[in-house]
Structure 1
Amino acid sequence: MVLQKRVWRMLRENKGRYIGIVLLILIGSFYFTAATGVAGSLEDQVVHFAQTNMQEDLTFSTDKTIEDLPTLARESGAVIEPYQQRDVKLPDGQSELRLLTPTSTINIPTVLSGQPLNNPGDIVLDPIFLRTHGLAVGGQLELNGKIFHITGTMALPNYVYIIKNLYDVLPTAGFGIALVSSADMEMFPNAAHQAVTVYGARFTKREDVDTQSAKLHGLLQDKGYSLSEWLDAKNNKRISSPWANITSLQSFSFPVSIAFFLLSCIIVGVTMLRMVKSDAVVIGTLYAQGYRRRELTRHYLAIPVLLSITGGLLGILLAWPCIGLAVDSILATYILPNTGIAFSPFNLALALLLPLALIGLASFFSLRGVLKKSAAELMKGDEQKARVNFFERVLRLERFRFTTKFQIREQVRSIPRLLFLLLGVSIASLVLLYGLTFNSSMDVAMKQGAVARYNYGIEYNFKEMQNLHDRPVPTGAEPYNSFRAYPEGRDEIEFYVLGMEPDSVGLKVNGIGGAKISRNQVNITSSLAQRLGLGVGDTLTCINKLDEKSYRLKIDGIIEAYGEQYVFLPLDEFNQKTGQAPGSYRTVLSNHVLNYDESLLAGVLDVRDPTKFANVSASTTLIVTATTSVAVLLAVVIIFIVSSLIIDENWKTISLLKIFGYYRKDIAKLILNSSTPVVFLGFGLGLLLMVALGNYLFSSIADSINMLIPMTLNPVYVLLSLVLILVVYEITKWFCGRKISLISMSEALKAGSE
């Protein structure tokens, strides 16, 4: 009972330090609980929606209607269902709605609000389109002169992420989807964009979808059908995009949390070692009074156990409401039925028990060395005496002036504390630099790549192959041809092989460093070359996603790129290799609006107005804000704990310095500034870790979204990170320095009399 009271007294005496330790544990537990909770909730919703509503394994289109669909389905071992789609402009001329006919066996819609389709003239919209266009369930919508009654909102398994074209990366502003009856679909005038038949397929055997997909592909070719589209679910961003969030959260939740827990282990170990050494005489006396080592071990372990349980529980409790907010925020982008939050009992147990186990073990080993000594050894008080260690002897501190010698000795006499500060500042710097670098990289990818590559701002994509002899392109426009491909043996990576005329100017094509590069050769973008490990002179073997034909392309040049994944070759060579007639093309780039019949077009991309694209800076800003906040909090906690320890370990010295006439400001500089070189060293180590790990982190993002974002380390952001770390250091040091005023000169005299 007496020892238990002493535990609470020790906690009160150093409450600031212990609060800092609890915060470290809390951050690790919070992040682990939140990340696994959000990922688990999303995974539960995505998987449940896919299984319950029969999400397609692939989508495809053919040059003609499949005649004997039941036979094809039986032979391929799949459930195949066609549906029609038609893109219709709204009266404002800007927004566009894709009308779809409902399906009953594949991609079954779920009504999120209101009622399903009941009568002709009913329409069900996606909730994002409804919200952004100021519409409401029960209202009306005019399409091509026909009035539709909005009966509800819905979610479709094949449109979880609503993008207009299958290969778009970003959603187009003003675009949405809707369900209408087959009768309503047929009532639109022929002059409008005609309906297209699309097939969704889901295989009955779930074990080997890829093999069955290849079998279906072969059956379609054998039956004489030409494929105009073929895309499996794992490469379909409309379906796979949520998995990028799930995978990234699952991948980083454990290592990030472990990093925080290990930092907590180091500082708790340092604190416990210092505590038992300062209590050596007390421990010896307790041994002499009959207390056993087991009892004293439990006594001192009570503090780390209480800290671990408190931090773990607070992290879990604080993460609980945040998970719901994060899931709701993600569901504002993805269209999924919100089935609530799903917690894994195993993950919750890990969030509580993992820090308890790690910190408990670290504390136990810190205590063992002191507690195993005899009562007589401990009562001599030798544990409290400072010892000259190996580093102090090697450095030969007598060569330096007093201030330098004192500050170096302060660091080398507590290597665990020094290691904690070094690693803590390094991790804080790494987190801060990662957030700012991600922001810089996304900014470069968007402003210098993606849509910025277009010299000609309008892209017209035709449903069927065109030919320059039959349909020449007007002045100010250029023909292109392309197919979607993947490297042999790596079907998770997709890119475009694009044929363009040698004198084309519609796309910006420059060599590395802005050098001129010939367009009359095979060129590859630098981002794709980096991802595939290719250079000039290497041969790329790629497979056409539509017909599975293989092509060997020798790389002649590398184009400077910022995330785009293309291989360019001359149009005539492209058509010759693919077996198409000379002059064939399927895309036209233009610097002005062309009057093509909309019934011929598969889609139009207009990049002249950046506002046509959804603003992706919001998610980037969220990432930067979150990482910056975590980094600053981490730096504050670590520097405060270390500064507090330094002051507590030097209270006698501080008292003596006051007797010798030193002012509080001078003492603060002498005592606390000893950590300044370590802070700079920690930031440098964090920068090196960012350079070393950055490419790996960005590569993992590329694998998730099939888009390589080049890491761009902006010197301004590096300087900003350093300034931010130093500002936090100075402010925290100033607050800790106020404790020096509380140490009186009489403390040194008391210590001497004792």
Structure 2
Amino acid sequence: MTLQKKIQRSVKKNLSFYLTGSILTAITVMLLVGAVTVSGSLYHCFDAYFAETKIEDAEFATLSEIPEDEMEQLKEQYDVTIEKQQYQDLSYQGTRLRLFAETGEMDLPTVTEGRKIEAEDEILLTYRYAKANGIAVGDTMELAGKTFRVCGLGMKPDYAIMLREFSDSIPDKDGFGIGILSKEAIKSLGAGMEYYSVRYGDKEKETAFRTEIYEKYGTVEYVERKANTRISLIYQEADDLVAEFSLYCPIILVVVIAVIAMVLARMVKREGKTIGTLLALGYRKKELVRHYMVYGMIPAFAGDIVGILLCIPFSRAFCSFYFGDAEYIDYVVKMPWKFIGIVLLIPIVVYGLVSDLVLRSVLKQEIVPLLKGMQKEKTPKLLNGSSAKLSLIYNIRSVVLNGFRSITLVVGIAIATLCIVLGGSFQDAYDNLLEEKVPYAMLGGQYEYGFTSYQTENPYGGNAVFDVSFGAAQDDSRFNLIGYEEENDLADLKTEDGKALNYGGYYMTSSAAKQYGIRAGDTFSFYNTVTMKESTVVISGIVKNDILSLILTSKENAAEILERPVDEYNVIISKEKLTIPAELLKKASSLDDYRDMVENLSTTAGIVLKLLKVLGMLIGVLIVTMISGMIAEESKRNISMLMVLGYRDREVQKFVLSSNHLLVPVGFVLGVPLGYLTAYSMILASAKSSGMVMSLPVKGTTLLASLLFIFVAYAFAMAVSGQKCRKVEMTESLKSMSE
């Protein structure tokens, strides 16, 4: 009889261990592969799509139009492709429809249903907008007094995510859409908005091109592709998903590693006499290490197999969810087979190393001590002579004398609590963002109006300010510079230390300060994305605003940096709703828009947060069930003795398994701060990409709900574990003296 014949018996005997390790390993593989598959599929799909449709490198607007002949000269001189984009915003059946002229050199629209435009009275609509509003190919639409026939449904690549403004973060696929018309049809609708798209053949000439455009035509706005959220948000979501799940998966592996280490150590100690006998018969320790390593490797191989089977449907469902944020596009789920191979190796290598280290440590004993039995080193003398209840003494001894098992249970409950608290605390952070921070997002105002060009007169009311996007010199990220007048009726802003703002100083919002690592008194360098001119200022203080990345200064300072007259403005911030001609406005937003944005973010994130809570409960159930099963298996003799003495099934279960009652609270107490620390680290990472800094309030209701989740998981696991106690046959157990 070879050693390998023992493996099958061991699997049946320790089934809960193998199930727990295999399930958690499968979940790890499934989550990590799913995240990388979504990210890879997004990149693969949209990289190819943007290349095919010749996506723009940037877009810019100018004060004066670039004549056709001069545009040709610019193309040749700077090796660029420039194309004018024209559009109008119209209302259609309670929605907003943005009509564009058909392009021919870049941002080429694609067709999913129907065909491209062939006549002046035809229109191509974006797919999701049309489906949401019941519009089909062949239908007619009345727009600006003209009738258009829908010839096709498709997508405009520079609106890959349907955001009305660059500042939006959640697509409005039902209430906002794009319509593509012929250039003649757009002209017939009257004056609209114009801007230019550009693609660079030689990136080395970009700065010179941008400088000439500004000097000759008066650039008022320049937006690079990476700053265009309608394009870049796709990639940002992909990167954030991988970053999040790369954090969750090692946490789960920690639980499995602890379980494997505990089970193998106990297995070797329990089989000390057998091991001593095998060594005496000539087996080498290396052979025994390899044999017992198989037990630790079973969860790796079984988990890998189940994980692969689960990750394919999970990846498809996950891709469907994330591609749903973008406009409708045919995509292929790109399974990262090379990465999958690496992921499958991770449990095998990690569990193998842990098994090897544990076994080499435990098998340091010489043959004689092993033959005498390693189990006898521990004797239950703890609390001898104590007047405490027998059940309490028994459970305290069970906890102390089985330290490795107790530590494993505490680690498992701590990790389960971490996941549950992480989900709950993040939801609290979103609620806090909505209730405490969004009301101050507009510096005390309620409405914001952005003009298509700089204005000099303000007959509308509110506070006229400069509000212009700049690039941070350190990382090219974007923030806005606000130039305000000394006399204004906005909220009385103060710095974080309670001081009033000194007019003429430079003040940075807390969101920007955390993003760029700036404190009061530090210098900060930035550049004008239009003129490419760099400025360096000293930050006088930090203003509390965790929603927007801003620098606030006097209107005079802003005018000097912008090289514009001080009496101009391009944005009005108002506490009241104003009446401004729509043709003058580039955007009009309110505080409610920020609320909607945060609510939508919270709803989207809520799906992942709920998954975390479910994962936490699952870990709790598996760990408690496994540990309780081990206790029942190792306490057969005691269980049968209690049955002989007349204890009922419930009383036996309570007597034997109550040691868990002492450890679960310890695991919960440890898991709570770990959960908040993990959430805080994720909030800091999220702030760098989103610009919003969330606070992390500690709420009693969240802690109570987390405790309830753990209690429910524990109660369920104990109910399952009780079955194992009831299956013990007292006669056979009393005959067995192996424990």
Retained in 2: the 8 A contact 1:76–1:219? no
Residue 8 (structure 1) aligns with: 8
Equivalent-residue separation in structure 1 for 2:636 and 2:66 (angstroms):
87
Equivalent residue, structure 2, for 1:267: 259
* Kept after mapping to 2: 8 A contact 1:22/1:310: yes
Name the structure 1 match of 2:722.
737
Q: Which amino acid aligns with 2:344?
A: L
Hey, what does 2:87 align to over in structure 1? 85
For residues 291-318 of structure 1, the C-alpha deviation after alignment (integer angstroms, 9 at most, x for no partner) is 7767655554444444322211111211
Q: Does the CA contact (< 8 Å) of 1:502 and 1:519 recur in 2?
A: no
Aligned counterpart, 2:531: 547
Structure-2 separation of matches of 1:428 and 1:216: 56
CA shift, 1:641, in A, is: 1.7
Rounded to whole Å, the distance in 2 between the matches of 1:220 and 1:576 is 20
Task: Tell me the alpha carbon deviations over residues 193-249 of structure 1, each in whole angstroms, 9 at most, x when there is no partner.
Answer: x323322222235xxx5x543333223235x22111111122221111111221123
Task: State whether structure 2 residue 548 is matched by structure 1 residue 560.
Answer: no
Matched, 1:442 2:430: yes
Per the alignment, do residues 509 and 309 of structure 1 end up closer, same or farther by CA in structure 2, a change over 3 Å counting? same
Counterpart residue type for residue 176 of structure 1: G
- SS of the aligned residue for 1:142 comes to strand
For residue 670 of structure 1, report the CA deviation from its aligned partner: 4.8
- The reply to whether residue 531 of structure 1 matches residue 515 of structure 2 is yes
Letter matched to residue 31 of structure 1: L
Match of 1:420 among 403, 408, 416: 408
TM-fit CA distance, 1:547: 2.3
The runs of 5 or more residues in structure 1 that have no matched partner are: none
Corresponding residue of 1:72: 74
Tell me by how many angstroms 1:517 deviates.
4.6
Looking at structure 1, the residues matched to 27 and 168 of structure 2 have their Cα atoms a distance apart, in angstroms, of 37
Structure 1 216/14 Cα, relative in aligned 2: closer, same or farther at 3 Å?
A: same
Taking the aligned partners of 1:378 and 1:518, their CA distance within structure 2 comes to: 77
Change (3 A) 1:531 1:400: farther
Q: For residues 112-156 of structure 1, what are the alpha-carbon distances to aligned partners after superposition, in whole Å with 9 as ceiling and x for unaligned?
A: 222122222221122221122221222222211212222222233
What is the aligned partner in structure 1 of residue 240 from structure 2? Answer: 248
Matched, 1:585 2:569: yes
Instruction: Give the count of matched residue pairs.
Output: 732
Q: CA deviation at 1:269?
A: 2.8
1:672 aligns with 2:657: yes
Alignment of 1:293-442 (within 5 A): 299-335=291-327, 337-368=329-360, 378-380=370-372, 382-387=373-378, 401=388, 406-442=394-430
CA contact (8 A) 1:49 1:337 kept: no
- When residues 592 and 23 of structure 1 are mapped into structure 2, their CA distance, relative to the original with a 3 A threshold, is same
Give the C-alpha shift of residue 432 in structure 1.
1.8
> Deviations along 1:388-432, whole A, 9 cap, x unmatched?
7xxx99x99988956665444433434433333233222222222
Q: Retained in 2: the 8 A contact 1:58–1:231? A: yes
Segment drifting more, 738-747 vs 289-298 = 289-298
Residues 120-159 of structure 1 mapped to structure 2, 5 A cutoff: 120-159=120-159
Specify whether residues 272 and 542 from structure 1 end up closer, same or farther in structure 2 by C-alpha distance, changes over 3 A only: same
Residue matched to 1:110: 110
Distance in 2 of aligned mates of 1:156 and 1:332:
16
Distance 1:346 1:378 in 2: 45
User: Given the superposition, is the C-alpha separation of residues 98 and 523 from structure 1 closer, same or farther in structure 2, using an over 3 Å criterion?
Assistant: same
Q: Deviation at 1:636?
A: 1.3
SS at match of 2:59: strand
Contact 2:258 2:411 survives alignment (8 Å):
no
Residues 46 and 336, structure 1, Cα contact 8 Å, conserved in 2: no
- What is the DSSP-based 3-state SS (H/G/I as helix, E as strand, rest coil) of the residue aligned with 2:75? helix
User: Could you tell me how far 1:709 is from its partner in structure 2?
Assistant: 3.3
Cα distance in 2 for partners of 1:237, 1:398 equals: 72
Over residues 626-676 of structure 1, what are the superposed CA-to-partner deviations in whole Å (9 max), with x where a residue is unaligned?
A: 111111111211222222223333333444555666665555445433344
Which amino acid letter does the alignment assign opposite residue 347 of structure 2? P
Match for 2:450 among 454, 461, 466? 461
In structure 2, the CA distance between the partners of 1:219 and 1:336, relative to structure 1 (3 Å rule), is farther
Partner of 2:32: 32
Are the counterparts in 1 of residues 88 and 193 from structure 2 also a CA contact under 8 Å? yes
> Within the alignment, does 1:220 sit opposite 2:213 as a pair?
yes
Identity of aligned residues (%): 25
Residues 423, 609 of structure 2: 8 Å contact kept: yes
Distance 1:701 1:718, change over 3 A: same
Q: Does the residue aligned with 2:341 lie in a helix, a strand or coil?
A: helix
Q: Give 1:81 shift.
A: 2.5
Query: How much has 1:157 moved relative to structure 2?
Result: 2.8
CA drift of 1:176 comes to 1.6
- Distance (Å, rounded) in 1 between the aligned partners of 2:27 and 2:402: 26
Amino acid in structure 2 at the alignment position of 1:229? E
Letter in 1 for 2:13: E
Q: TM-score, normalised by structure 2?
A: 0.89
Shift in Å at residue 286 of structure 1? 5.6
Amino acid at match of 1:569: T
Pair 603,256 (structure 1): closer, same or farther in 2 beyond 3 Å: closer
Q: Give the secondary-structure state (helix, strand or coil) at the position aligned to 2:117.
A: coil
SS in structure 1 at match of 2:658: helix
Q: Aligned to 1:720, what secondary structure does the other structure show?
A: helix
1:642 aligned partner: 627
Distance in 2 between residues matched to 1:746 and 1:462, nearest whole Å: 89
Q: Residue type matched to 1:723 in 2?
A: L
Aligned partner of 1:58 in structure 2 is 58
**Bigger shift: residues 271-280 or 668-677:** 668-677
Question: 1:27 deviation in Å?
Answer: 1.0
Deviation at 1:718, TM superposition (A): 2.6
Q: 1:609 to 1:697 in 2, by over 3 A?
A: closer
Q: CA deviation at 1:612?
A: 7.4
CA 556–400 in structure 1, closer or farther in 2 if over 3 Å, else same: farther
CA contact (8 A) 1:163 1:171 kept: yes
* Pair 717,284 (structure 1): closer, same or farther in 2 beyond 3 Å: same
The one-letter code matched in structure 2 to 1:411 is V
Range with greater deviation from structure 2 (138-147 or 610-619): 610-619
**1:475-499 Cα deviation digits (max 9, x unpaired):** 5x3322211123332322x222212
Distance in 2 (CA, whole Å) between partners of 1:462 and 1:507 is 23
Would you say the 8 A contact 1:517–1:557 is kept in 2?
A: no
Instruction: Report the more deviating stretch, 309-318 or 515-524.
Output: 515-524
Contact 1:440/1:712 (8 A) holds in 2: yes
Q: What are the Cα deviations for residues 11-46 of structure 1, in whole angstroms up to 9, with x where unaligned?
A: 223323322221111111111111111111112112
State the distance in 2 between where 1:60 and 1:400 align.
84
Following the alignment from structure 2 to structure 1, what is the Cα–Cα distance between the partners of residues 7 and 737? 27
CA shift digits 1:356-412 (9 cap, x unpaired) = 2222333344444566777766444x1332437xxx99x999889566654444334
Q: 1:47 to 1:307 in 2, by over 3 A?
A: same
How far did residue 591 of structure 1 move? Answer: 5.2
C-alpha distance in 2 between matches for 1:69 and 1:415: 78
Which blocks of at least 5 consecutive residues in structure 2 are unaligned? none
1:458–1:593 CA contact under 8 A, matched in 2: yes
Give the CA deviation at 1:334. 0.8
Q: How does 1:280-295 map to 2 (within 5 A)?
A: 280-284=272-276
The alpha-carbon distance between structure 1 residues 495 and 451, as it changes in their structure 2 partners (threshold 3 A), is farther
TM-score relative to the length of structure 1: 0.87
How many angstroms apart in 2 are the aligned matches of 1:289 and 1:302? 21
